[in-house]
A and B are shown apart, each in its own frame.
Chain A
Amino acid sequence: MIDAKPDRKSRKFREIDQFDLNEKSQYYLLPFRFHRITDEKEIIVNEVGDYLTLSNGTFERIVKRQLDKEKDAELYGDLIANFFISEEPIPPLIDVLATRYRTKKLFLNYFTGLHIFVISLRCEHTCHYCQVSRVTQNRDLYDMSIANIDKGIEIMFKSPNPHVTMEFQGGEALLAFDNIKYAVEKAERIADEVGKGLTKVICTNLALINEEILEYCKEHEILISTSLDGPKYVHDKNRHKPHASSYELAIKGIELSRKILGHDRVSALMTTTKLSLAYPVEIIDEYFNLGFQGIFLRNISPYGFALRTDKSKYETEKFLTFYKKALDRILEYNFSGHYFTEDLAKIFLTKILTPFNVGFVDLQSPAGLINGVVVFNYDGGVYATDESRMLAEQKDYTFKLGTLDDSYNDLFFGKKAQEIAQLWANEALTGCSECAFQQYCGADPVHNHATQGDMYGFRPNSDFCQKNMEIIRYLIVLMESDNRIKKIFESWAKTATH
């Protein structure tokens, strides 16, 4: 009864023990998950990704109701305040927790934002790990037709997302620059009409970049995304270009693009190959010296041509060693006062340290495919992710949602989409369902399919799981052991959201 007057009319001060709502010290567990992170420490993570690190054995004491409200007062307070236990069967702040849960899953509300247009499959490079491209002059066969561009744009603007991104990929996208111009101008007109936000990105190796193209990009506010694998001796080995240095071209292209478009309109993506693994420090230094504010240490995807090229195969273990060395180097730069991020860590840290989320395709649950990204292939095929179309190049059409001739509803809510949707959420996957890092990790059915032959996947030997579990563990151990690192990580997490 909230409208009854309190019996207590006196304004005499009372002691703190009189404000204990639960003198019997009985408590209820709330949903949370547990993991051992070192020999001495364990971690518990609640349903919205807040974590507490505890000394060994504490989790057991919590579950077995061995906490003493007085002797463990600080811990008890932490557990109540952070939604691990409750003094009521339904916690008084459950609606607050529910709001936070919704915030964490907010990317769901927006639906597909990223639309990849594979504008041409042709390329002038012959990168040894390249997954799809062709060296050819045959435009009719390997460029996206105007008719398909039109249909792709039409579908893109059917997305309920108020802001869509149109990304041109290849092959080498600039080989079809005229078509890009056509697509950009058409999409701009429609975006204006329907009042949606539109971001445009060209992914290019920059070999063909010139002032004229860049002036056009400037006028139309197009972002440039390029590839840079590290120093010359790494990059040129990875990215073979007949009779020229791909590295020199990329560096010249980056400089020119920055000059015309502005420093931060140009980003670079790095792919780790077997060769890269030997140069973690050199790769970081290269990015740092070129004036980038960060690097994304991606491991090479196991799809397409890559899977068949022995040269590019390497074990997750080696990648992790590489990753940690590189991260050490990055932290050194930060210790000496520079702001330089590792973007995979940044994604994880945003999930670990902030009440927000990041819609990163490979690392979200429900998975980012279809509800985060869709790919329109050069030939009119529509795929769930970039990786799916690479599988298709090997005649594996598992993730082909249909073609540009299909209706929006058939593509996004059709049988195929629903089939994949079943395995969207890691909350429901064996292994993941009780994993402490579930809130930080994601589900990647395409990856499971490509590496393990089924979308459901088998966590014990999944490289996706092994990699994420170890990186997340490592990040937490780092910041729990060194307050300077914690401050740095907090600053990374912040910029990922603001």
Chain B
Amino acid sequence: MLLRTKGKPINIETHLVGKVTRNPDQLDENSFLLIDSSISELPSKNYMGVLSRQDEYEVKNGEYVVFKIPTLDHLTDGDIVSVGNDGNINTLYRVNSFHNTLLATERCNSNCLMCSQPPRDKNDIPIHYQIHKKLIPLIPKDCFELGISGGEPTLMGDLFFDLLSQIKTELPATEIHVLTNGRSFAWNQMAEKLGELDYRRLMLGIPLYADYYQVHDYIVQAENAFYQTILGLHNLARYNQRLEVRIVLHKQSIPRLTRLAKYIYKNLPFVEHVTFMGLEYIGYTPHNIQKLWIDPYDYHDELGEAVEFLAGQGMHVSIYNTPLCVLPERLWKFARKSISDWKNDYLPECSRCSKLNDCGGLFTWNLKKHSEHIRPFTA
């Protein structure tokens, strides 16, 4: 799925954020008109600008323009884009997707071996914040769920809380899912501030990879991260925050996985959801694949015991990113079709599979590195 494109800018000085439409009647001051081929006459309304595939463009009313864009096929009426003075057009929000995510920052205080979106040490927080500030009011009020990810969003500091409170005001009916390593919340004031927002639609997804600090710290490549994350989870629970614990399954996390499940039940019984996630072959993972790879087929026992223990104790458990054919059947009821539409794909043999409709398939990038045990069901 294409999420960015580029053309030649005219008149653009700062980042613009607006909705796109092909229908001139829908235009307003916050929207761009998409022009796929030539257009006889520009509407006379007040609107933000024009995004065009045309090779030439003649400015009429000082409108903002990007032209000579190779394709606009990936954009649907109602999608929201940011347009930079360099002519970059990034899709920020897709109206037909259930998986919209705001990227808070690419900065991070951890450096996980299997990070899918490796961090960058550049302060991009102000620019992302400015863009999101403009974006949020444009998001449809019936947006069901919105993710916030990074990098590590809490590095935004005060802006993190500003962002959340803006979303809470603008999108009161939307479920918000924030991915954070939770370490900052070890400092009570962070958790307390979040508590003050009193945001019941907010859920924090926090990764935890072992019950023993050294293993977790190694996986996330940061000293004291384990202790900070556990303290963070406890502080957040103190302010009644809704929490999800996320476990990525790989060679480093599997050996203590069943112990981790017990640890979660004993020490974090307040978490609302525990998710076990297959490894994504992207970001740092290909580089560290020797340290990380274990065929999902080979950790059935550990995964099964961990999942069934937690579920048996009444906790809500899910398995993400794992095709049905590499899971024992007794675990199918925990498997979710979790992979966002634009990252989702199947292998050629899947077309013959009778479970194709129930199966969450693979990450596009995992087509290159997948279990040796993908076998279509034939029945």
Residue of B113, B211, B224, B313 touching A354 (CB-CB under 8 A): B313
Task: List which A16-56 residues lie within 8 A (CB) of chain B.
Answer: 16, 18-21, 50
With known contacts A11-B111, A16-B215, A491–B312 Cβ distance under 8 A: yes
Check B212–A80 contact: CB distance below 8 A.
yes
Residues of A within 8 A of B214 (CB): 16, 19-21, 77
Q: How far is the CB of B263 from chain A (nearest CB, A)?
A: 6
Check B111–A81 contact: CB distance below 8 A.
no
Check B312–A9 contact: CB distance below 8 A.
no
User: Given the complex of chains A and B, what is the CA–CA distance between A80 and B80 in angstroms?
Assistant: 49
Q: Mark B305-321, 1 if CB is under 8 A from A, else 0.
A: 00001001110000000
Closest A residue, CB atoms, query B233: A96
Q: How far is the CB of B214 from chain A (nearest CB, A)?
A: 5
Check B265–A355 contact: CB distance below 8 A.
yes
Residues of B within 8 A of A356 (CB): 269
Q: How far is the CB of B118 from chain A (nearest CB, A)?
A: 8
Q: How far is the CB of A169 from chain B (nearest CB, A)?
A: 33
**Interface assignment of B340: CB less than 8 Å from any CB of chain A:** no
Check B113–A13 contact: CB distance below 8 A.
yes
User: Given the complex of chains A and B, what is the CA–CA distance between A56 and B214 in angstroms?
Assistant: 27
**Interface assignment of A422: CB less than 8 Å from any CB of chain B:** no
Check B309–A490 contact: CB distance below 8 A.
yes
**Interface assignment of A99: CB less than 8 Å from any CB of chain B:** yes
Residues of B within 8 A of A80 (CB): 212-213
Check B234–A498 contact: CB distance below 8 A.
no
Residues of A within 8 A of B213 (CB): 19, 21, 80-81
How many residues on chain A are close to B (CB under 8 Å)? 32
Closest B residue, CB atoms, query A76: B212
**Interface assignment of B288: CB less than 8 Å from any CB of chain A:** yes
Q: How far is the CB of B290 from chain A (nearest CB, A)?
A: 11
Residues of A within 8 A of B288 (CB): 13
Closest A residue, CB atoms, query B212: A77
User: Given the complex of chains A and B, what is the CA–CA distance between A20 and B215 in angstroms?
Assistant: 9
Residues of A within 8 A of B312 (CB): 487, 490-491, 494
Residues of B within 8 A of A325 (CB): none
Check B269–A81 contact: CB distance below 8 A.
no
Task: List which A476-491 residues lie within 8 A (CB) of chain B.
Answer: 487, 490-491
Check A50–B266 contact: CB distance below 8 A.
yes
Q: How far is the CB of B189 from chain A (nearest CB, A)?
A: 12
With known contacts A19-B223, A21-B213, A355-B265, A95–B231 Cβ distance under 8 A: yes
**Interface assignment of A243: CB less than 8 Å from any CB of chain B:** no
Check A81–B212 contact: CB distance below 8 A.
yes
Residues of B within 8 A of A93 (CB): 227, 230-231
Q: Mark B191-235, 1 if CB is under 8 A from A, else 0.
A: 000000000000000000001111101100101100100110010
**Interface assignment of B11: CB less than 8 Å from any CB of chain A:** no
Q: Mark A75-115, 1 if CB is under 8 A from B, else 0.
A: 00110110000000000110110011000000000000000
Task: List which B15-48 residues lie within 8 A (CB) of chain A.
Answer: none
User: Given the complex of chains A and B, what is the CA–CA distance between A356 and B265 in angstroms?
Assistant: 10
Check A13–B221 contact: CB distance below 8 A.
yes
Residues of A within 8 A of B221 (CB): 13-14
User: Given the complex of chains A and B, what is the CA–CA distance between A491 and B312 in angstroms?
Assistant: 6
**Interface assignment of B336: CB less than 8 Å from any CB of chain A:** no
Check A96–B269 contact: CB distance below 8 A.
no
How many residues on chain B are close to A (CB under 8 Å)? 32
Check A13–B111 contact: CB distance below 8 A.
yes
Residues of A within 8 A of B119 (CB): 11
Check A92–B227 contact: CB distance below 8 A.
yes
Q: Mark A415-458, 1 if CB is under 8 A from B, else 0.
A: 00000000000000000000000000000000000000000000
Residues of A within 8 A of B256 (CB): 77
Residues of B within 8 A of A77 (CB): 211-212, 214-215, 256, 259
Q: Mark B297-311, 1 if CB is under 8 A from A, else 0.
A: 000000000000100
Check B263–A81 contact: CB distance below 8 A.
yes
Residue among A15, A18, A92, A356 with max Cβ neighbours from chain B (10 Å): A92
Residues of A within 8 A of B230 (CB): 93, 96
Q: Mark B112-149, 1 if CB is under 8 A from A, else 0.
A: 01000011010000000000000000000000000000
Check B313–A490 contact: CB distance below 8 A.
yes
With known contacts A96-B230, A494-B312, A498-B314, A355–B263 Cβ distance under 8 A: no
Check A21–B223 contact: CB distance below 8 A.
yes
Closest A residue, CB atoms, query B235: A95
User: Given the complex of chains A and B, what is the CA–CA distance between A16 and B218 in angstroms?
Assistant: 5
Residue of A2, A14, A95, A494 touching B314 (CB-CB under 8 A): A494
With known contacts A13-B221, A77-B215, A96-B231, A355–B269 Cβ distance under 8 A: yes
Residues of B within 8 A of A11 (CB): 111, 118-119, 121
Residues of A within 8 A of B166 (CB): none
User: Given the complex of chains A and B, what is the CA–CA distance between A19 and B220 in angstroms?
Assistant: 10
**Interface assignment of B97: CB less than 8 Å from any CB of chain A:** no
**Interface assignment of B96: CB less than 8 Å from any CB of chain A:** no
Q: How far is the CB of A497 from chain B (nearest CB, A)?
A: 8
User: Given the complex of chains A and B, what is the CA–CA distance between A355 and B315 in angstroms?
Assistant: 13
**Interface assignment of B354: CB less than 8 Å from any CB of chain A:** no
Residue of A13, A18, A355 touching B267 (CB-CB under 8 A): A355
User: Given the complex of chains A and B, what is the CA–CA distance between A467 and B167 in angstroms?
Assistant: 59
With known contacts A11-B111, A14-B221, A494-B313, A95–B234 Cβ distance under 8 A: yes
Check B231–A19 contact: CB distance below 8 A.
no
Residues of A within 8 A of B309 (CB): 490
Residues of A within 8 A of B224 (CB): 21, 92
User: Given the complex of chains A and B, what is the CA–CA distance between A100 and B264 in angstroms?
Assistant: 12
Check A19–B218 contact: CB distance below 8 A.
yes
Check B217–A19 contact: CB distance below 8 A.
yes
User: Given the complex of chains A and B, what is the CA–CA distance between A9 and B269 in angstroms?
Assistant: 36
Check A96–B267 contact: CB distance below 8 A.
yes
Check B121–A81 contact: CB distance below 8 A.
no
User: Given the complex of chains A and B, what is the CA–CA distance between A355 and B314 in angstroms?
Assistant: 13
Residues of B within 8 A of A2 (CB): 187
Q: Mark B225-261, 1 if CB is under 8 A from A, else 0.
A: 0010011001000000000000000000000100100
User: Given the complex of chains A and B, what is the CA–CA distance between A239 and B293 in angstroms?
Assistant: 67
Residues of A within 8 A of B267 (CB): 96, 100, 355
Closest B residue, CB atoms, query A96: B234
Q: How far is the CB of B151 from chain A (nearest CB, A)?
A: 13
Q: How far is the CB of A353 from chain B (nearest CB, A)?
A: 8
Residue among A13, A99, A100, A497 with max Cβ neighbours from chain B (10 Å): A13
User: Given the complex of chains A and B, what is the CA–CA distance between A487 and B304 in angstroms?
Assistant: 13
Residues of B within 8 A of A20 (CB): 214
Check B227–A9 contact: CB distance below 8 A.
no
With known contacts A14-B221, A93-B231, A9–B121 Cβ distance under 8 A: yes
Closest A residue, CB atoms, query B227: A92
Residues of A within 8 A of B187 (CB): 2
Residues of B within 8 A of A355 (CB): 265-267, 269
User: Given the complex of chains A and B, what is the CA–CA distance between A50 and B211 in angstroms?
Assistant: 14
User: Given the complex of chains A and B, what is the CA–CA distance between A20 and B267 in angstroms?
Assistant: 22
User: Given the complex of chains A and B, what is the CA–CA distance between A243 and B264 in angstroms?
Assistant: 59
User: Given the complex of chains A and B, what is the CA–CA distance between A99 and B231 in angstroms?
Assistant: 11
Residues of B within 8 A of A95 (CB): 231, 234
Residue of B111, B211, B227, B234 touching A99 (CB-CB under 8 A): B234
User: Given the complex of chains A and B, what is the CA–CA distance between A236 and B313 in angstroms?
Assistant: 40
Residues of A within 8 A of B227 (CB): 92-93
User: Given the complex of chains A and B, what is the CA–CA distance between A97 and B214 in angstroms?
Assistant: 19
Residues of B within 8 A of A19 (CB): 213-214, 217-218, 223
Sample (17) of A-B pairs whose CB atoms are under 8 Å apart: A9-B121, A19-B214, A19-B217, A21-B214, A81-B263, A92-B231, A95-B234, A96-B230, A96-B231, A96-B267, A354-B265, A354-B269, A354-B313, A355-B269, A356-B269, A490-B309, A494-B313
Q: Residues of B at under 8 Å CB distance from A?
A: 111, 113, 118-119, 121, 187, 211-215, 217-218, 221, 223-224, 227, 230-231, 234, 256, 259, 263, 265-267, 269, 288, 309, 312-314
Closest 8 CB pairs of A and B: A77-B212, A19-B217, A16-B218, A81-B211, A92-B227, A19-B218, A81-B212, A498-B314
